[in-house]
Amino acid sequence: MALETWLIKVKKTIAHSFVTVRSTGAPRAKTASIKKSSVGVLAFEISGLMSKLLHLWQFLSDKNMIRIRNESICLEGVRKIISNDDAFLLGLACAEIVENLRLVAKSLSRISKKCEDAHLRSFDRFFTEFANTGRDPYNWVLSLKDMELKIKKMDQYVTTTALLHRQIDELSVLENSLKKVSNSNFKDSEISIKEQKILELRQKYLWQKQEVKYLKDRSLWCRSFDTVTSLLARSIFTTLARIKLVFGINHGYPNSLPRSLSASATVYPSENHNTFNFVSGPLVNNPPILKVSDHEFFESNTKVLKPPSSTLGAAALALHYANLIIVMEKMIRSPQLVGVEARDDLYSMLPNSVRSSLRSRLKGVGFSASDPVLAGEWKDALQKILGWLSPLAHNMIKWQSERSFEQQNLIPKTNVLLLQTLYFANQEKTEAAITELLVGLNYIWRFEREMNAKALFECTNFNNFLNLKHSSN
């Protein structure tokens, strides 16, 4: 009996403790705290930042750096109308990549203000200090092995969060369909059909709701601001360290860069432009491409990216000329299909400086264009000009479209840099090339019209001859 009485007392004590714990509401407060610290709907914006950072990291691969050094800055058009100075061109590439990273860091800085960790809330200050002086007091720069793990993790988050976005949209569609069916009027004989539809849609809605909940738990949605900020902050620090390494920027470089990160390519031009340097030490002993003073790293990049007054970028004509060149390219490809209205439209696109240059070039040319040899020479000349000018025009369109308002939250689909576009092109040289295209297009267009008119005239005479011969018979 004593044992039984003791067991009853223990049971009552446990039951009382359980009720007390449930009534205190402590777990509710904890749940609310977790929910409050979760990024929630900002997961989609953060996913976009991760996507851009992933693209930047991939862009900095050894293979792509070799492509920039051996292909991008060696484009004929780049050499003709932008610059033939390797250091200048690589400086442009470096500055643009740094600027893209700075924009990602700026967005993260705003998100980091919601963190509980004081160090993460000060990410903006630490990042600027790291860029200027190389100081990394909290060891946010990762080794290559650790960075690869972070890349995989971010890639998984991006994929899952993108799937969550699609499933939320599907859930919204199902919810609207359910409301529409529920509020619709059915005949009395169709009530059973309505109930069946409602039942099916409700079942699909509940299943979809469970799928959304599952994806929220696995995606960025339920991660805390501290978690995502820490992940992005370390990755941004490491990416900047990588940029400084591959472009040979010694100034302001961290004193203890992990050796595993440093075993990669540098793109700074050596005395032998046909070789490509690989380094195994923590620093590159070449002079820096981007020379910066203390506390001016990002300011120096902004200055590098500012186009000189002699360029199309400074004149705000880069995109307009790109469109103009592409229109001419189509006309040169099929001059026989170009009508008078199309020529007038093309002429209306020309700035005054090009019109004046064109009028000077066309003086004394004459009205006849019947020389097939000269027409062939013009066609060859136009193809050569388009061969180096057209790629820059198409790159300009690609670069601009990826940075339009509608596309700004998406990751870039190409690796086009500003130095591969018309942005830094010399205005005078570009206009001279465009004028030459216009003069040649004018000749082959008139040649095609004269040949067509001549063929039509001969065909008409032949038909008249046949008709006269038939009537005489």
pLDDT band per the 50, 70, 90 thresholds, residue 31: very low
> How far, in Å, CA of 337 to CA of 77, rounded?
28
Task: List the single range of 273-282, 369-378, 440-449 with lowest mean pLDDT.
Answer: 273-282
pLDDT score of 448: 76
- Mean pLDDT check: name the lowest of 67-76, 300-309, 312-321, 361-370: 361-370
- State residue 224 phi and psi, 5-degree precision: -80, 160
Closest by CA position to 327, among listed 409, 386, 286, 250: 386
Residue scoring higher pLDDT (338 or 285): 338
Pick 152 or 272 by higher pLDDT: 152
Encode pLDDT of 87-140 as tens digits.
Answer: 999 999 999 999 999 999 999 999 999 999 999 999 999 999 999 988 999 999
Give the number of residues written for the chain.
473
pLDDT tops 70 at residue 160: yes
pLDDT of residue 106: 95
Mean pLDDT of 432-442: 93
Beta bridge partners of 255: none
For the stretch 349-389, pLDDT in tens is 999 999 999 988 888 665 566 677 888 898 999 999 999 99
- Can you give the pLDDT at residue 403? 78
Give CA–CA dist 45/161, Å, rounded: 10
* Whether the predicted pLDDT of 308 surpasses 60: yes
Mean pLDDT confidence for 278-292: 37
The answer to whether residue 65 scores a pLDDT higher than 70 is yes
List the single range of 24-33, 132-141, 194-203, 217-226 with lowest mean pLDDT.
24-33
- pLDDT at residue 117, as a whole number: 94
* Per-residue confidence (pLDDT) for residue 273, from 0 to 100: 37
Count CB neighbours of 102 within 10 A: 19
More confident residue, 18 or 114: 114
Q: Are 346 and 328 in contact (CB under 8 A)?
A: yes
Amino acid at 103: L
pLDDT value at 220 more than 90 = yes
Helix (H, G, I), strand (E, B) or coil at 278: strand
Cβ of 81: how many Cβ atoms within 10 Å? 23
Percentage of the chain surpassing pLDDT 70? 73
| CA dihedral of 210, 153, 27, 113, whole degrees rounded to 10 | -120
Lookup: tokens for 235: 């990755």
End-to-end CA distance of the chain, in Å?
142
- pTM, to two decimals: 0.78
User: Which two structure tokens, joined as six digits, stand for 194?
Assistant: 């309505």
Task: Report, as an integer, the average pLDDT of 406-419.
Answer: 70
Report residue 184's pLDDT band, with 50, 70 and 90 as the boundaries.
Answer: confident
Helix, strand, or coil (residue 135): coil
The predicted structure's pLDDT at residue 173: 92
Worst-scoring range by mean pLDDT, 154-163, 185-194, 289-298, 442-451?
A: 289-298
3-class secondary-structure state, position 49: helix
Least confident of 107-111, 306-310, 336-340: 336-340
Reduced to 3 states, what is the DSSP secondary structure of residue 37? helix
Tokens standing for 10?
């223990």
Per the model's pLDDT, the better-predicted residue between 434 and 333 turns out to be 434
Among 71-75, 262-266, 390-394, 436-440, the least confident range: 262-266
Q: Measured on CA atoms in the order 79, 420, 96, 238, is the torsion positive or negative? A: negative
What residue spans of 25-143 are helical by DSSP H? 26-37, 43-59, 62-70, 76-81, 86-112, 118-121, 123-133
